[in-house]
Amino acid sequence: MNVLGIFRGFPGLGRIVAGVSIMEMLRDDFNCNINIISYFQGSRYLESRGFKTHIKATPMDYSSIGLLPTNKMGSFIHKQIKDFRPDLVIIDGEPLILHSLRLSYPKLKIVALLNPADVVNPKIDKECMDYFNAMYSLADLAVIHGLRKVQPSDLYRDYISTGTILRREIFKIKNQPSKNVYCVLGGGTVNVDNSFFQSTIQIATLCINVARLLPEYTFHVICSSSNIYDTLDGISYSNVILHNEILNPSLIYTDAAFIITRSGRNTLSELAYLGIPSISFISGCSYRRTEQEENLQCLNSENIYKASIGITVSEFADLCKKVSNSKRIGNPDVCGNSEVVKEIIKLLQ
């Protein structure tokens, strides 16, 4: 069986991490031939996983909601369909491409990977949500994975709402805490609005400044994109290490005393699964803040603490001390990998 993955590559890695995990399971556990297309930060992630990347996207190839099916990248995708002849296409974050493929290949089996906020989101105009749901409902199967269960409209042909698709290496990690603290700023801050960039700098600056009050710890600030690294470089202390690349989760989670992060679906799910104490910041635009609040409410974990971006350095230091003494209790129920693969295999058969 041939399976093609098409995953949005910006603003962070939320749209590609889960997709690659599913693709790798189909390759390794079910002998599927796989091919993956992404761009921007997504291309960097593919390269880190040993995958070959394709042509680069230009400003003419994409909009705020993903790739345009009528320009260079869109033409490349159609050529891949004709050359690779996939039995199934898995798409995440590309409603326009999904629509285009359904028009051009009406019998092609398509799976849409979705965030619960893609399907139900009261902070987005109803007309926008109507459009997105109309596009996503064209898939043969909608996989809605995350920290809350939702029920889409009757437009959808078939769907499952399940736990988050986790990176495969997460299952092999056992946390043995040391004096290392990791500040995970996200998958990237390119092609985002200024508020997201500024809030990222605020979180990183808080971590750098709190390190001065907690000299017994080494703080690793994982910038993920060069613009964040360049802004922060030169303002750190002796117990702060800035990283200008995405670190493997085994490096972060294996010896973390605790984790500082945003309240995104993927990272929160990994932390909950592993039971690592964490501080999760609510930040960004109203759309992101609403989703982050919902993520934390649905997770309802005893060792993941919410923090406001307006917290003072001394208050942050006190919270860090509290989190470092929290219990480490894993929650396997947040994982949806097995159910998702089971449904995809049924569709392939």
Q: What is the pLDDT of residue 208?
A: 94
Range of the domain at 141: 2-165
Could you give the maximum distance between any two Cα atoms of the chain, in Å?
61
Domain membership flag for residue 347: no
Instruction: Indicate the SS3 state at residue 62.
Output: strand
Distance of CA 35 to the CA centre of its chain: 20
Residues 323 and 280 in one domain: yes
Q: Each residue of 125-135: pLDDT tens digit?
A: 999 999 999 99
Domain membership flag for residue 75: yes
Q: How would you write 151-207 as a 3-class SS string?
A: CCCCCCCCEEEECECCCHHHHHCCCCCCCEEEEECCCCCCCCCHHHHHHHHHHHHHH
Q: What is the pLDDT of residue 95?
A: 98
Q: What is the pLDDT of residue 223?
A: 84
Spatial strand order of the sheet with 88-92 comes to: 33-37, 2-7, 88-92, 109-114, 141-145, 159-162
Q: What is the pLDDT of residue 190?
A: 55
Cα distances (angstroms) measured from residue 218 to each of 13, 28, 183, 222, 249: 26, 37, 11, 13, 17
Residues 144 and 282 in one domain: no
Q: What is the pLDDT of residue 232?
A: 84
Q: What is the pLDDT of residue 237?
A: 81
Query: Which pair of tokens denotes residue 146?
Result: 């995350």
Q: What is the pLDDT of residue 247?
A: 81
Omega before 277 within 30 of 0, i.e. cis: no
Q: How would you write 259-282 as a 3-class SS string?
A: EEEECCHHHHHHHHHHCCCEEEEE
Residues 85 and 6 in one domain: yes
Whole-angstrom distance, CA of residue 203 vs CA of residue 316: 11
Domain membership flag for residue 348: no
- CATH number of the domain to which 152 belongs: 3.40.50.2000
Domain boundary among 142, 165, 188: 165
Q: How would you label 192-212 residue by residue, b for 16+ Cβ within 10 Å and e otherwise? A: beeebbebbeebbebbbbbbe
Residues 329 and 206 in one domain: yes
Domain count for the chain: 2
Low-confidence stretches of the chain (pLDDT < 70) are: 187-194, 224, 236, 263, 283-290
Q: What is the pLDDT of residue 102?
A: 98
Instruction: Indicate the SS3 state at residue 317.
Output: helix
Residues 160 and 184 in one domain: no
Q: What is the pLDDT of residue 44?
A: 85
* CB-count exposure of residue 315 (10 Å: 0-12, 13-18, 19+): middle
CB-based contact 267:261 (threshold 8 Å) = yes
Domain membership flag for residue 340: no
Whole-angstrom distance, CA of residue 281 vs CA of residue 262: 5
Q: What is the pLDDT of residue 200?
A: 86
Residues 233 and 269 in one domain: yes
Domain membership flag for residue 342: no
Domain membership flag for residue 341: no
